Amino acid sequence: MTAMTSFGSTPKTLSEKLDWLDVRYWRFGHDELLEDHLFDLYAVGDDGAMTAQPRVDTLTGETRGLMVLGRSGDGKTALLMRTLRASPVLREFGQDMTGNTLFITVPPEATVKKLAELILARTGYKKIDSRLRSSDAWEMVVHRLGKVGITTVVIDECHHMFRTGAGRDKQGAIQSLKHILQSAGGVALIVAGVPSLRDEILAEPSGETYRRFQELKLSAVLPDTRNAALFATNLRQCAGVLGIHIPADDAFPERILFAHRGQVGRCVNLAKEILREATTRGRDALSLAAADRVFRKSNTGVGQTPFHDAPWETVRVELEAIGWGM
Ligand SMILES: Nc1ncnc2c1ncn2[C@@H]1O[C@H](COP(=O)(O)OP(=O)(O)OP(=O)(O)O)[C@@H](O)[C@H]1O
Ligand SMILES: [Mg+2]
């Protein structure tokens, strides 16, 4: 497997290089795990490839769901969007009302009913009666999904459905997820959120909704793992295209991963920021001093950073002694 999915054409000018770097997606083991989970959710064609038709339990008529869990910055949204873009069968449902996969992000303030209204509006149903009850609104959602040909719903930031406060309804939130899984034509449901989302769904006394979900937890990239090696490869390949040398003895990949405790999204962004800094300053090699400056710009008030100019093993031991750690 190559680490990065595509290089496109080699960038030459400074602005081409920066744009190129910006949109680079770094592949990790998470991508394969998600693909593997998705494979379970859908019917398989005679050629052995996944189709867009969700697998339906013949006895209950229900589909299955997938929960993608991770801390903020672990890269849930980037992973889901990338997988969707790269899928040969799932196509995002857009403004032109085509596509079989609806990607919806729950706004922090949305109530369960509001979310139903949002889905109805996105799928072209505008005549929503404000007196509609939440459960009726979800009935309409399910009907609407079938009508416009949506067979997969991705609900990102799903934990926002479970916030407490006035007008909030955790039972209703669970119910609405179950509605989707029980919809007539068959709709696969992918929900993504912070780890507490799992507890919220698990809190249902009967546990019946939780049972319908598979789980993918995005773990941190730990030292000396395949994902750490992929991180180093991605970094080296990006630097290569940008014409930037990475001094091998300085342990840049290890330091960057340590700096954000292996959280994929945050570590990739830091790596890109360090590469960007060198590119825009016209330098042809990374330096610890420059990386230290980059890190401090978005992490003010830290004493020693992982980019301290000393052998990495020494720096790591010192940082761990003052409470840093993966
Ligand atoms: N594999 C990747 N390759 C390149 N960039 C990535 C990758 N994963 C994440 N990122 C970048 O890292 C940042 C954080 O990722 P993302 O927003 O997907 O995290 P998240 O888990 O959805 O966080 P939140 O819970 O706050 O929404 C984004 O800027 C995203 O573009
Ligand atoms: Mg996100």
Q: What pLDDT sits at residue 8?
A: 59
For residue 176, how far is its CA from the centre of ligand 2 (angstroms)? 21
Q: DSSP 3-state assignment of 154?
A: strand
Residue whose token pair is 């801390």 = 71
pLDDT band at 276 (very low <50, low <70, confident <90, very high): very high
Residue 80 sits at the vertex; the CA angle it makes with 160 and 182, to the nearest 5 degrees, is 65
The CATH code of the domain at 29-217 is 3.40.50.300
| Of 33, 74, 217, best ligand 1 pocket probe by most atoms within 8 Å of the beta carbon | 74
Quick one: average pLDDT of 37-58? 95
- Indicate if the pLDDT at residue 19 is higher than 60: yes
φ, ψ at 4 (rounded to 5°): -90, 145
Quick one: average pLDDT of 212-240? 97
Quick one: average pLDDT of 300-307? 92
What are the residue ranges spanned by the domains of the chain? 14-23+221-321, 29-217
Q: What is the rounded (10 degree) CA torsion for 82, 270, 32, 72? A: -80
Q: Is 269 in the pocket of ligand 1 (CB under 6 A)?
A: yes
Q: How many angstroms separate the CA atoms of 45 and 51, rounded? A: 6
The tens digit of pLDDT for each residue in 98-126 reads 999 999 999 999 999 999 999 999 999 98
pLDDT band at 1 (very low <50, low <70, confident <90, very high): very low
Whether the model pTM is above 0.85: yes
For residue 265, how far is its CA from the centre of ligand 2 (angstroms)? 10
